[in-house]
Amino acid sequence: MTDHATRDAAPQSSAMVPLPYRVHSRVEENRDCATLCLEPLKEALRTPQPGQFMMLYAFGVGEVAISVSGYPTATDGTITPTATDETITLTIRAVGAVSRALHDAQVGTVIGVRGPFGTSWGLAEAVGRDLVMVCGGVGLCPLRPAVQHARADRENYGRMLVVAGARSQAEFLFADELDEWAADPRIETHITIDAPAQGWSGEVGFVTEPLRWLKLNPGRTTAFLCGPPAMLRLASEGLIAKGLAASDIRVSLELNMQCGIGWCGHCQLGPLLLCRDGPVVSYDIARPLLRVKEL
C-alpha cells in the first residue's frame, strides 16, 4: 500500500476466478475507444473505487487490465458517492487482440471480470482540500470517476480544477460530459488540444500549459495526474515549482498487468508491483522511478 492511496483488492482465494458480467450498454467514444457498462449475471464483485482497475477476460482470446472509467449510478440515473447499482463502467482502447475483442463486444456479450485491484486516488484523504486533476488522452478514463465523485460530493472539497488534453478534438473521450464540466460554475475546467486546428476555438497547448500560469494554494492542494510518463513528470515538476509537496501529487502508473495481485511480476517498476502497490502512487515514490530511462 502506498502512503496516500488506499487499496481494496479482491480476496486472494477468489482473485484469480473471473465472474461473468454482461454488457449492459456500449458507447463508442472515438475512432478506437468504447465505453462498456457491465452488469453481473449472478454474483457481483465489490464496487471499485476511483483509480482502481479490473481484469477483463474476452473468452477464447485473453485477459487484460482496464481502469474503471465511471462511478456507479443510483437507481434514478444520478451519480452519487454512495450509489451501489453493481454495474462497472470501463473504457477500452483497441490496441491489441484482447482489447479489440473487448472494444467490439456488443450489448449482451458475456465477459469475465476479476477485481477490483490496486490503489485508489484516495479521495477521502483529500476532503477539505483543493483538487487539481490533470489528464492527457486516455488518461481521462481513470480520472473521470474521481471528477464524478468530487462533483457529486462538491461541498466536501475546496477549489476544483480539471485540465484535460488530447491531440485533437476528435480524440476526446466523454465529449458531452466534458461540456457539462465546462458549464459547471463549481469547476474550473481547461480543455486543450496539442496544436491549433480548424474549427477549434478552445485552448491550445499541452496540459502542462495551464499549470504554468494558474495560481494555486500549495499548502491545501492535492493533485491527481494521469497520462503518458513524460506528461506526469512535467506536470508534477511544474506543480512542485508552485510549492506543492511531492507527497500531495498522486500519479497513476501503468505497465503490463497480468495477475492483478502481485504474483507474476510482469508489472514490476523498480521496487513496486503496480498491480498491488499502484497504479496510484504519490509522486515522491514515483519521482525517482520516472527518472530512470526505460525502467
Check residue 29 and give its pLDDT: 95
- Domain hosting 32: range is 19-117
User: Domain check: are 146 and 253 in the same one?
Assistant: yes
Residue range 27-59, pLDDT digits in tens: 999 999 999 999 999 899 999 999 999 999 999
pLDDT higher at 80 or 263: 263
The angle formed by the CA atoms of residues 261, 3 and 114, to the nearest 5 degrees, is 20
The H or E element containing residue 145 is helix 140-152
Looking at the 3D structure of the chain, how many domains does it have?
A: 2
The answer to whether 284 and 8 have CB atoms below 8 angstroms apart is no
pTM, full prediction:
0.91
Pairing verdict, β 88-93 and 33-40: antiparallel
**Residue 140 sits in a domain of what CATH number?**
3.40.50.80
User: Domain check: are 107 and 137 in the same one?
Assistant: no
Check residue 256 and give its pLDDT: 81
Check residue 10 and give its pLDDT: 47
DSSP state of 119: B
Dihedral (CA of 86, 26, 163, 293) sign? positive
Check residue 21 and give its pLDDT: 97
User: Domain check: are 132 and 224 in the same one?
Assistant: yes
Residue range 170-181, pLDDT digits in tens: 999 999 999 999
User: Domain check: are 95 and 148 in the same one?
Assistant: no
pLDDT of 3 strictly over 70: no
Q: Give the mean model confidence (pLDDT) for residues 4-28.
A: 76
Q: Which residues fall within 8 angstroms of residue 189, CB to CB, at 6 or more apart?
A: 161, 162, 163, 164, 178, 181, 182
Check residue 1 and give its pLDDT: 40
Prior bond to 279 cis, omega within 30? yes
Q: Which residues fall within 8 angstroms of residue 48, CB to CB, at 6 or more apart?
A: 8, 54, 68, 88, 115, 116
Residue range 82-99, pLDDT digits in tens: 555 789 999 999 999 999
User: Domain check: are 203 and 144 in the same one?
Assistant: yes
Residue range 90-149, pLDDT digits in tens: 999 999 999 999 999 999 999 999 999 999 999 999 999 999 999 999 999 999 999 999
Mean pLDDT over all residues of the chain? Answer: 90
Check residue 292 and give its pLDDT: 82
pLDDT of 80 strictly over 90: no
User: Domain check: are 86 and 161 in the same one?
Assistant: no
Q: Give the mean model confidence (pLDDT) for residues 217-240.
A: 95
User: Domain check: are 130 and 83 in the same one?
Assistant: no
Q: Give the mean model confidence (pLDDT) for residues 270-286.
A: 95
User: Domain check: are 97 and 144 in the same one?
Assistant: no
The reply to whether 172 falls in a domain is: yes
Percent of the chain predicted with pLDDT > 90: 78
Residue range 246-268, pLDDT digits in tens: 999 999 998 788 899 999 999 99
With b meaning 16 or more CB within 10 Å and e meaning fewer, what string describes 164-198? bbbeeeebbbbeeebeebeeeeebbbbbbbbeeee
Task: Report residue 8's pLDDT band, with 50, 70 and 90 as the boundaries.
Answer: low
User: Domain check: are 180 and 281 in the same one?
Assistant: yes
Q: What cell does 230 get?
A: 513524460
- Look at residues 102, 117, 132 and tell me which one is the last residue of a structural domain: 117
User: Domain check: are 108 and 175 in the same one?
Assistant: no
